[in-house]
Structure formats: structure tokens, C-alpha cells
Structure 1
Amino acid sequence: MALIKKLFVAGVVVTLVAAGGFSWWTKHSLTTGGEPIEFTINPGSGVAASAQQMVAAGVPINPTMFRLLARLTGDAGRIKAGSYELKPNTSPRRLLTQLVNGEFSHEAVTIIEGWTFRQMRQAISGHDRLKHDTVKLTDQELMAKISTEFKEPEGMFFPDTYLFAKGSSEIEIYRRAHQAMLDHLNAAWEKRNKALPYKSPYEALIMASIVEKETGQKSERNMIAGVFVNRLRTGMLLQTDPTVIYGMGASYAGQIRKKDLQTDTPYNTYTRGGLPPTPIALPGLQSLHAALEPAETPALYFVARGDGTSQFSNNLPDHNRAVNRYQRGITTQ
């Protein structure tokens, strides 16, 4: 009887020590320094498979104890597949929380205001952490996977920085950027002045893309838009070089010649009236707002001063004098 008592007491002590050790293990860091350890939990993985995948990736976890922790907390069936990072000073309990909450490690791809869709595709296809599942698609085939309303992709994606889990599909980035552009465009359209000479939000988007390419000065975008709106209202040609450059495509070599201005393309606003058929770039939020909230101005012309700003003129004689002064270095009275 005494032996049984001793064995019982010993068993209790061992259990308490083991429980204390297990509790200590769940709360203390798996690593204390070094670089984060990347690992991936595959779709359909249970807690046992997840633990083995972490070990295989170099995570210093005890698979048996991790499975026990997950079962004791009721989280064994809640682990989410995805890409993760084990950062220094992460405990097993915190690691399990990451997996249950789906706190994926994020990569980023940045789409720049004023880029063309071609440049956007290059940035996305060149990102080594994305799943490249659109590379063989034409622009129109790619667009068909994203929208049933829009056929041409130019201008239809919002320039921003997009976070994603490693291995995400390229199409996910395109869908998010497209939806972001629609959201911003429609919100701006709802607040527009109804007297603006646009028949649709798409026409406003075309104007925003022209404003985006015409100036890097944020403070001048509303004035630039005001000039072009005035020209549309009066039936003047827009005569904007960025549309000509876009229409030239690969033949553009960094300089516009007189014959380029005279060569007709759908985008040559020196030879064709109104807006071009599509946007010419990816406009940012300020250009969208400028197109739909243009400055109220009598100006019909502007010319670059050479310092990044523009000289605006209300009539052709004043504009010609501005061109002489700022482009040709000729001062006239």
C-alpha cells in the first residue's frame, strides 16, 4: 500500500513537472535572433502535417508538443494554409496564433502613377514572389478574366502598392487594382459638376490620364484639366503631346518631330478632335480629382517654363509670347 502511495505521488509530481515544462515551452521563444524563417503551410494540411512542414523549412519546433498545444487549445482544425515567417522571439503559442489567424508574410508590388499598362505588366511579371499565370495572355485575354464591361486595359488599374502573400496569383493583383480604380473613379464621378463635357466616367478617366502625363506638378493638375475642359467645350483640338507619344508606340525615340504631329493616329490630338479613344496611362487619385474638379479658368493654353511649372495664357498672342520666352529664349513686348 505504501509503495502504491509513493508511486502515485511520484506520478503526480512527474505530471506537474511535465505540465510546468510544457507551459514554459509554449510561452518562450523558439529563436532569439537571426533572420526570419520562411515556411509554407500547404492547403489541406492538418496540425501534424503543418508541424512537419515547419520542421522541414527549418522552424525549430517540437512537432509532438506543437500538436499537443494545438489540440489543448482547440485550434488543431483551424490552421490556415499560406506563406508565413517565424520572426525572432516568437513563442509556440504566438506561432499557433499566427497560423490560426492567417497572419501571412506579405510581399509588395508597386504600380507607379503615370505608368502605361505595359509597364504595369512588366513590373508584375518580373516579381519573383508572384505566381505567373497571366504571362502568356494577351492584354485583351487578361482583361476578359477581370471585367465583362471593359475590353481595353489601359488606364483601368489604380496605381498603388499592393501587398500579397508569397505565391499569390498575378490575376489577384490585377483584380484588386482594377476594382480600386473603379471605386475611386465612380466616387469622383458622383461628386462631379454635371456641366462637365464628359459623357461617361470612362471619358473622365481618359482626361485624368492626360492630366497625369502632362504635369508632375500636383498643384497645377486642376489648371491643366481646366484648360483641356475649356478646349473640349469650345471645340478646339486638345493638341497634347503625351497622346501623340502614346499613339507612336515603339517608334517613339524620345523626341517628337513636326512630322509626328502631322501623322494621323487615333491618339494624335493635333489631327483629331475630342478625347483619344482610351486612356494613355494609369492616372493617380489627384489626376482623377483634377479631371472631375477642374479649375474654373479662362485659360486655353499653357507652356512649360523649364522649371517644372507652366505658364497659362487666355489667348493665342499671349501664348505665342510665352512660347518665345520659355521655349526659345526670345523676349518680346
Structure 2
Amino acid sequence: MCARRVLRAGPGVDTMKGPVTRRRKPERDLFSDPMPERIEPCLALLKVRAPVGQEWAFEVKWDGYRLAVHIVGKRVRIITRGGHDWTPRFPTIGHDALSLGVDSAILDGEAVVLDKRGASDFGALQKALGGRGGKRFASEAIFYAFDLLYLNGHDLRPMPLSERRGMLEDLLLAEPHGSIRLSEEIDADGAPFLKLACEMKLEGIIAKRRDAPYRSGRGGDWLKIKCSQSESFVIVGYEPSTIALGGIGRLLLAARQGDHLVYVGGVGTGFTFESGAALRKAMDKLIIPRPALDMTGRKRSYRWLTPALVAEIQFRGWTDDGKLRHASYKGLREEADEATVYEMPTG
């Protein structure tokens, strides 16, 4: 199947044109359901290849912060994946959510900042938020909604994705809502869509079972297929530098293996002067006299850290001895985002 639809990632992204298929809003005779205070998100399972079959729907993989937007009357709450209230940090999204004209709703999606090509840029979002624990606001952030979990007194999670998506389209496509946009389903087979996404230097794609209800956790109803590997690692130390951006020559990274941390190599690229300086300031508050894991033979010039900072690292693969290849720093994950530290296989 040829790709026939627009990737609505923003200005400059113009691929896969074709009509948007509108679905009729299903009529439901339901009693009013209590609105959940919080819903644990459905998480995508990492796969190497895109699945095949008409039962799968495909979307762009956004590179930002997973959020749930709760609307009740004139009140909006924006909740992170970890359950933290970030409403004040996304004022524009909160404001625009009230224009949806619903009595109550829960939208599941991703907050992103777009680059000049119209692709999501995690580093730009971090900058807009002022970095880890920053007090600035992401007024330029866009919320790409990809699921509707609750609407006007009804819990939609038991419904199949195809019906929830139809109701979400009806809600968002009738008129523009500023910073709240639909993360559109792409009318394409998975393999060519992934190839195109990678050629456009996007993060990758997401595949979702059309007939699946919304189930919290990483159960396999949603899959993620990435163009390049990007995972979260703990920073366990760094090498100071008098010439590198931000004073950081190299970060030392660790992954989890069972109940302990293992060293997986370092990263010395991807910093700007601003991001490097902010990271150096955060790390210098965590210096400890000895490494938190076995680092025998490492330089004495390294400064060791309490393993509290989690960095998102892009890399091309692994060496034979379990170290990252061609790694690049993308930014720190927020505690509220509950980023999962990469788990190394045992044995």
C-alpha cells in the first residue's frame, strides 16, 4: 500500500497526502461513569520491525513529554506520565483545552516543541521548560493528542481504539484549537512508513491495534519502532573540561542489570553551551567521593555522582563489550516523566 496522507507535524513536513477519513461518532447508551483522577498510561513496546496487517494503525512517534489533559467544566489539569501536575508549565495547552467545548474529557498525548522542519525536538522542549526542575513555561509547546479516554461522563477505555480515535477526530478536526492537535493515523503499511519517517529524520513510528481497548502498562497493544536508538541512562560521573561546551568533557553512563548498575560508556557530544552549563550545575550538587558502581581503571580526573540524573541518549548501537556506539546527549529526563532506565539483559 502506498503512503497517502499528510504527516501533520508542522511547517515543512509534507508527505503522504490524501483525504482524512472521518468516522461517525458511535451512539452509546451508557450511564455516567466516574471520572478517574488519573489513568496509568498505555506504553509502547519496543520492536525492531513494524508489524504487518490491517489490524494495525500507524502514527508518528513524537519526541516529547507524555501528558494526560483532564478537563472538567472550566478546570484543566495536565498530568505527567509519573502522575505529577504540570498544569502551570503548559499554560497555552491548558487555555486551549477549554476551547474544546466539552463538559469533561481526558486526552492522552505528547507535548512537543517543533523544529524548523516541523519535527519534534526534545532538546527544544527541555530548553522551553528551563531544563530539569526549571520554572519556565512551554508556551510554544504543542499537544498532539492520540487517544480519548473519557468524554462527557463516559469512560471510553473499554471501546476499541478505532472507535476512540473516531470520537477524537470529531472533537479535534471540527475547528482548530491552537496548541492542541490530532496526532493523525497514517494510511500506509508499516515498513514504507518507517522508511519515510527515517528519511525525514523523525524519531520513528508507533503501531497500535485497532480493536484493542485502552490498557495501562506495556502489554503489546502499542508498539514503537525507532529510526535510531534512543534510551535513558543514569549519569554516574563526568570528566570536567576547560574547553568543552558547558565545562563537560564526557558523561559517564550506566544502565540497570537486575538490581545493580553497569557502566555502558560515555558521551561527549550533543551539548550546547547553555545545556552543558545547566547540566554541570546540576551534577556538581551530586558529587560523591567514590563511584556508585565498579569503575576500576577509570581516570582519577573523573567526578563521581549520586546516580540521580537520567539522560536521554541517542546512539547507533552497541560494541561487543556492551558499550554505546556513537552516542549523543539529547537532554535530561524529568522525574515527573518517569523515564525508564535502560535494562541490560542478564546472563
Same fold (TM over 0.5): no
TM-score bucket of the superposed structures, by smaller chain: under 0.3
Which of the pair is proportionally richer in strand?
2
In our comparison, the structure showing a higher alpha carbon Rg is 1
Q: Which has the higher contact order (CA 8 A, sep 6+)?
A: 2
